[in-house]
Chain A
């Protein structure tokens, strides 16, 4: 399988690249941090003896069609597209600056939409394909933090739902994961009210689920019960929790 991972230099993207490499996939890895990307690629080539291409890309300013042409040109074909890149900021807690709002929307919504769009016809033509997007439990309900981030992820989830409908007549499986607290630099060492998942575990679940017609799912799965409770909490109760969950 040939896989494209957007956001592969760290966190879940790096863990996913590693898991895919273990299964012998050829990889095309995209990230904004060139030095980390080169290190990830070198490590995966050496450990797994696989083909790995890399591209340094700023998701706030790039040509999606050119990216698609380049990736397909190097890999020959893309069987799986993983849109993992995400960006959060402590300043996303109310009055967000224009620049920050643009960047949050660009990385978390616009870029994955543009990339999925650029690969749409290619994935639809494959005998077997996957398109995987990453959302967040931060988008379950609006709070006072991760405001624009949550809005972008909610929008991305809607897009993936539509994408699943679009691809329903093809062999391309579309999956979208609402991921819970995960031990990455975005979370840091902050204490959380609920357990934190290891990116390697999340990546393993994603790879294990590739053949399943999942649609939208939570990782870890128990977050669905938390979501149901949060979604139905009366406003008077939820507003008191808004800063903690």
Chain B
């Protein structure tokens, strides 16, 4: 029975009231209301309105979370799209395997990972989620159920991986696994003086580490802006050791934020200085779960942005534009005195196609408290991005307009053409697809 309820993106920047159903049987899942657009919803943890929309019926997939097949010899697993990466972690690690591409929170679902084509801690080495999908079963009310993969209907497969759920409902998927070589991670923090220095170090060492990203203090506007450390991780220990999954409180987009924005305050500058000094040059051993899913243990982080929430902006800067990009970014930050809850770099690789957030370069991730000032800042940053051939991750930033997306993603026109050819009646829709005119 459908119920009307309010949906929010995780950063609370996009919201709407929509009808929602949570089928728990295939015969209910596969009978979509004619004439109404639908969209599948997994964990509902996207930063943008990718799993809800005005006049769209939301199909909750949480009951479709069963593991269907596991082949230790071939290192593959088949599961329903509603299974979470955390559930797969608990199933696979005692059996000596791990999902190679892991976004930072265990509540992300298999289907959501495919639809968003998510990345992990070292995208350069691991690739994106689509790279580990051997095949999937997709349902569309007109086309029925289809088994697609890199070699079975590859065009539709390419459209679906990173297709934001717009080609249909992902029912099941088969993914490649990686042998678990240890259950702990030796984490090293190496101090760097600037964003550019971090990028240079990470590009030089990108082949040497299983995990590689950086943390930066940008809540200061002196010469120290961008100081921080590069985080490298190496899995250690024995794969026979038991992996501990600590208790954590699940993240939910419906959770209310704290009544006060703790991030847009001078306190963040003090916190960053102390954090940078304390964590700046250390090596320690961390649990595998805590390292793969850092946000699992810090649910309060998201709530600390207050009622207005936060905006995530993630941009992929081509390798040959890094110097010029940071040369434009740093003065912009100083001019606005913009505060950030998180600033991080990762190394990227791969090829660009359609709407895939992929390519050779450095990706910059920013979390900032939502405000008019932040939006003006980001509007200027959009221009810097376009000038430098950088692309913004469309599954992260809720303000990206169709015009900005078209300037950054030449493949968007091809995506629209192929989606319209496959689904001319637009059976699947969301706030994200409306905003980007997909």
Contacts and interface: CB of A to CB of B under 8 A. Distances in A.
Contacts of A43: 66-68
A9 B24 CA distance: 9
A33 B27 CA distance: 8
Contacts of A190: 1, 3
Contacts of B25: 9-10, 33, 36, 185
Secondary structure of the B side of the interface?
mixed
Nearest to B1: A188
A238 to B, nearest CB: 26
A40 interface: yes
B22 interface: yes
Interface residues of A, number: 20
B91 A47 contact: yes
A204 interface: no
A180 interface: no
A10 B24 contact: yes
Interface in B25-48: 25-28
A46 B67 contact: yes
Nearest to A187: B1
Nearest to B4: A189
A46 B91 contact: yes
Given A9-B25, A185-B24, A39 B68 contact: yes
Nearest to A184: B24
A36 B23 CA distance: 11
B335 interface: no
Contacts of B351: none
A133 interface: no
A202 to B, nearest CB: 15
B68 A189 contact: no
Interface string B281-300: 00000000000000000000
Interface in B49-103: 63-64, 66-70, 80, 91
A190 B20 CA distance: 11
A217 interface: no
Contacts of B381: none
A96 interface: no
A184 B68 CA distance: 22
Q: Which of B5, B25, B26, B28 has the most CB of A within 10 A?
A: B25
Nearest to A40: B66
Q: Which of A9, A33, A42, A46 has the most CB of B within 10 A?
A: A46
A35 B67 contact: no
A95 to B, nearest CB: 21
B21 interface: yes
Interface of A: 9-11, 14, 33, 35-36, 39-40, 42-43, 46-47, 90, 184-185, 188-191
Interface of B: 1-3, 5, 20-28, 63-64, 66-70, 80, 91
